[in-house]
Structure 1
Amino acid sequence: MAGRVLPLLPQYRKDGVTRRICATAHLHDELARDIDRDLTGDRLTAIGLTLGINFVAVARHARVAVRRRKVLDRQLAALGALFIASLLIALWSLIAGHGSLVLVAVYGALGVLAVTWGLVHHAQARAREAAQRVFHGAEKPETLAPPVEQDAEARLNELKRSNVLPYADETALVNPFVGSGKRLQEREVIWGPIDVSEPAEGPGGAKLPIADFDAIDLHTYVARQMESISGLDGLRTRNRLYVLGSNAYLLPELVPDRTRRPNPHVPKQLVQAGLQQPGAGMRTHLCLERVGEGGRLIVSMYLRAILAKPSLSWEVAAYAIPPLEARFHEVDTLPLARFDRWWSLVKYATAHTWSELSGAPGRMMERSRWLYDNERTLRKQRRKIKNQHIIVDYGAATSLRERYGDWDQAGYAERMDALDYLVRLQQGVLTATERFLKDHNVDTSSFDNAQKIITQNYHVNNVNGPAIFGAGGTQHNNGPQGGGPQGSGGGGGTPPAKP
């Protein structure tokens, strides 16, 4: 019955993935360090797409965790020096026969261990408290941590509306859509060609004049209509210029300073130019992104209209990013009851006291060494750019969201959602294309023939072991690949991708 009122079931939080990453950064020092270096560190390469993650919030919480670890390691290093001094004094006193001094030195060493235990306990308690506050709290995650550098946050905010992405040269042989996850199709495909030169018939059989259009008009129409046609609420659509990393410097608007990282945004005219007249390693794709419940799953489809009149073809690629890996669910299992929380912290501090104390100098040296090596490498690269005019690969190689995804965490619901999104996007593109051609008085008989072959031969890929999708309908797990209309009906797909 239409209009029925039903109770609202519990829902995943829309920013659930952001909160999980922020929380886990407090619990895993290496993760916090890597995120801090990736999002706010000095670099020449582009940062991957945000893909539903609030980078500012993640960067802030990672920085808090990094600073907490640095302070703890400095304290532990000082205690470690006292511990070694106490042992040396005890050894000297034992040899010299000063029994009372031996006891003082031994008690001093035990005192160092006790203080270490207290510091480890306190740091872990603060980390867990911060993790639980950001994960369970009602406040926005970015408000629960102090800001990082102003220019770094400005760059991260710019990534939200990124309309250009340099991709690393090493990925060029596979695809330019870095950080988008695993292919849902077995390979990228070409839909078409479709004859768009024949005018449609009007009333009385008279031929209607074809309204002039170009690929930009088609992309704009599909972008505006896809959400309503597909029924995928919240579908994000954007034309984005993909640029080969080593060619990024050819666009001054993208790389105004060759010694700095590329801009995440360029003038709209350049994005349109990449569709109308692709450049050297520069092509524009219509990017359709559907984020699943709570951000657990992301399905992306990339389209490029190839309009070489009298024919139209669609270049199509689809990818998916799975839920976060297991360690990002540790925050769910942190004890909340007072005694359980106390006992868990006691066990943690007892088990980690010695490793924390003995490992502090090494961790401090590793951080200093990395910082020195990174600064030296960047300094040498920048000097070569200025003096020798070397060409640098400015491209991103992955995304933060892709890096921490794990298909083993994808259940039946996520696999079925991915299939649903893919089918809706596929059919939505075909429906939008048909409506566009009809609106421009183009005869769609060629399109109708191509559509039949496309839907019959469409094939979905397995990702890492068990099939994501079951066989049924027009989706097949086995059998020949149908990249597009074959034989007299049109061109086929691209060669199979390398595993």
Structure 2
Amino acid sequence: MMMNKPKYDITRYLCAAAEIGPKFRTKVFDQIIDNTIRYVAPSYGVDVPLVARHCIRGQIRDFIIETLLSIVLVWTLFSSFNSYGIIGGIFRFLLTLFTYPWLIAIILKWSNLYLGYKTVAKDLKEFDKKGDNRSLIEAQYEERIKELEELQEGNVVYYSGYNPFVGSGNQVDGWSFVCSTKLKEGLESDPNNLSLYALYDLIDRNMNSLKIPNLTVRDKLFVNGREIREDARFLPNLYESPISHVAESLVDEFKEKWEENVRYYQTVQVVGWQGNIVFSSFFRITKNEKHLFVEANYFAVPPLKSQFYEIDQLSSSIPFGRVMKMGVVSIIPAILQLPLSPFRAIKYGMAFLKGQKNKKELLQQVDINQKFDYGAYESIREMAARTDMQYFFQTTDLMMYKKEIERCFTDSIVEYLESTGIDTSEFIQRKESIINQGIMINGGQVNGNVVSVGSIKNNIINQAKNTFQNSNV
């Protein structure tokens, strides 16, 4: 098994969750691995294919353990009936369960737990194992793993519901305003002189000149997943997921125009604290003959929930005391789950076929529902995110990113407008009220306890989203 060192520590934490967290693993299977028709939300700063591989391996390990226990259980039942008949065999079977089958169950559960923690404690810290051996079951997912890798680099995001910036976490802040594009006195008006394409290009160059580590600038389209059924630009095949990467020429078209269900945003992202926080800025500029509309939205993905950091408490070699503790905590699950092992084996086995079943159901929904939603669920990164910052300095860093990026954005607009002869006095006045006085048109705040938007409406949306996430993790 060959492991590549992840770009950020956040991938390592999520791989650990995939190995020892059945609930997280199940959620990834349902929404990411088996979700082959709806768009998969990008998980910024995360190696999604690697997390998916660990989910598959953890699921295979559980399947093998439950299958072995089922064989032991069936053999014990058969031997009891063969030696004592049906009536006597039932009593003999019940008595025998608490002898060698129970002992085998404890050993197997213990081994499964140990292998999971060994992967977490050693392999996920080193990422240096050689070879590229994959099981037969894992090989069946290779095509899907490659698709997930391509999805992360796409230039189109398909959203479901209210928030178009799926995968970017909670809204931190936002503002917008309109200003005049009249020329300075003495200059003749030329409405074609203002090119949004050239303006975005200047912003791109200036953003990339900022000395902020791990900053990226991307051009992206955000498309309503319920409104693409008849749009071959994004959905060539009704029965497959929408394409995640469109031609740059199409993206450029939307820099100068917009549609109700398709919007272009210049996306500026900073991945900080080894991937533990992701700050995203989404900028959009539109114009008419007399006015320029400027919009900014700021989102942040907080760190992971505390349980996902347990890997840091383990050394590369698991202490003998912890190994023994694993054996002790395996006793009760072995007693309770042994009689149910055949059903659990079937459940885990069917999980590998569930994707095909789900796809058939989704295909039926596509035929029936003319407004089938191809938009994304939450991302892997959002599944595991907490609702607040982990450290005070993460909050202050978010503020720093926001202010630096915001100033670069507004300064770039002023620079461009000046070069085209437009009177920038109104724009500068509004710019200064945003940068210096902190007056946000839509309101909002970042504090140490919660990342939220100031408006009541967005607070309610974020709270509802967090409640949903917590109920499913």
Q: Same fold (TM over 0.5)?
A: yes
Give the Cα separation in 1 of the matches to 2:225 and 2:172. 25
Tell which structure's C-alpha radius of gyration is larger.
Answer: 1
Deviation at 1:21, TM superposition (A): 0.7
Distance 1:343 1:425, change over 3 A: same
1:183 aligns with 2:171: yes
Q: Residue 4 of structure 1 aligns with which residue? A: none
Give the Cα separation in 1 of the matches to 2:130 and 2:230. 38
1:28 aligns with 2:13: no
Deviation at 1:56, TM superposition (A): 1.5
Confirm or deny: 8 A CA contact 2:214 2:272 kept in the other structure.
no
Confirm or deny: 8 A CA contact 1:90 1:103 kept in the other structure.
no
Confirm or deny: 8 A CA contact 1:299 1:418 kept in the other structure.
yes
Deviation at 1:330, TM superposition (A): 1.9
Deviation at 1:393, TM superposition (A): 0.8
Q: Residue 116 of structure 1 aligns with which residue? A: 105
Confirm or deny: 8 A CA contact 2:76 2:96 kept in the other structure.
no
For residues 370-401 of structure 1, what are the alpha-carbon distances to aligned partners after superposition, in whole Å with 9 as ceiling and x for unaligned? 67776455425424645x68331100132111
1:358 aligns with 2:339: yes
Give the Cα separation in 1 of the matches to 2:281 and 2:446. 17
Comparing 276-285 and 362-371, the one that deviates more: 362-371
Aligned residue type for 2:57: V
Deviation at 1:360, TM superposition (A): 2.6
Deviation at 1:440, TM superposition (A): 3.1
Q: Residue 382 of structure 1 aligns with which residue? A: 363
Q: Residue 248 of structure 1 aligns with which residue? A: 228
SS of 2:259's partner is coil
1:198 aligns with 2:183: yes
Deviation at 1:114, TM superposition (A): 1.4
Aligned residue type for 1:342: V
Give the Cα separation in 2 of the matches to 1:369 and 1:355. 22
1:432 aligns with 2:424: no
Deviation at 1:75, TM superposition (A): 1.2
> TM-score when scaled to structure 2?
0.83
Unaligned runs of 5+ residues in structure 2 are 1-5, 461-473
Output the aligned Cα RMSD.
3.5
Deviation at 1:213, TM superposition (A): 3.1
Distance 1:280 1:81, change over 3 A: same
Give the Cα separation in 1 of the matches to 2:19 and 2:358. 29
1:445 aligns with 2:425: yes
User: Which one of the candidate residues 282, 285, 302 is aligned to 1:322?
Assistant: 302
Deviation at 1:452, TM superposition (A): 2.2
User: Which one of the candidate residues 124, 133, 147 is aligned to 1:135?
Assistant: 124
Aligned residue type for 2:445: N
Distance 1:395 1:42, change over 3 A: closer
For residues 20-74 of structure 1, what are the alpha-carbon distances to aligned partners after superposition, in whole Å with 9 as ceiling and x for unaligned? 1112211112322322343331532100012111112111111111111111111
SS of 2:274's partner is helix
Give the Cα separation in 2 of the matches to 1:268 and 1:161. 13
Q: Residue 71 of structure 1 aligns with which residue? A: 64
1:215 aligns with 2:196: yes
Give the Cα separation in 2 of the matches to 1:195 and 1:436. 14
Give the Cα separation in 2 of the matches to 1:140 and 1:209. 66
Give the Cα separation in 1 of the matches to 2:456 and 2:22. 43
Give the Cα separation in 2 of the matches to 1:275 and 1:495. 31
Q: Residue 224 of structure 1 aligns with which residue? A: 205
Q: Residue 397 of structure 1 aligns with which residue? A: 377
Give the Cα separation in 2 of the matches to 1:254 and 1:151. 21
Deviation at 1:323, TM superposition (A): 0.6
Give the Cα separation in 1 of the matches to 2:130 and 2:265. 32
Q: Residue 37 of structure 2 aligns with which residue? A: 44
Give the Cα separation in 2 of the matches to 1:415 and 1:287. 21
Give the Cα separation in 1 of the matches to 2:59 and 2:287. 51
Q: Residue 159 of structure 1 aligns with which residue? A: 151
Distance 1:425 1:250, change over 3 A: farther
Confirm or deny: 8 A CA contact 1:166 1:248 kept in the other structure.
no
Deviation at 1:179, TM superposition (A): 2.3
Aligned residue type for 1:398: E
Q: How many residues align?
A: 447
SS of 1:237's partner is strand
Give the Cα separation in 1 of the matches to 2:146 and 2:276. 26
Give the Cα separation in 2 of the matches to 1:114 and 1:436. 75
Deviation at 1:418, TM superposition (A): 1.4
Q: Residue 460 of structure 1 aligns with which residue? A: 444
Confirm or deny: 8 A CA contact 1:296 1:322 kept in the other structure.
yes
SS of 2:405's partner is helix
Give the Cα separation in 1 of the matches to 2:215 and 2:66. 45
Deviation at 1:416, TM superposition (A): 1.4
Deviation at 1:313, TM superposition (A): 2.0
1:340 aligns with 2:312: no
For residues 306-341 of structure 1, what are the alpha-carbon distances to aligned partners after superposition, in whole Å with 9 as ceiling and x for unaligned? 222322121111111111112211222346454224
Distance 1:348 1:409, change over 3 A: farther
Give the Cα separation in 2 of the matches to 1:268 and 1:373. 36
Unaligned runs of 5+ residues in structure 1 are 1-12, 201-205, 470-476, 482-493
Comparing 254-263 and 338-347, the one that deviates more: 338-347
1:16 aligns with 2:1: no
Q: Residue 56 of structure 1 aligns with which residue? A: 49
Confirm or deny: 8 A CA contact 1:235 1:290 kept in the other structure.
yes
Confirm or deny: 8 A CA contact 1:195 1:446 kept in the other structure.
yes
Deviation at 1:437, TM superposition (A): 2.0
Give the Cα separation in 1 of the matches to 2:12 and 2:336. 29
Aligned residue type for 1:195: S
Aligned residue type for 1:155: E
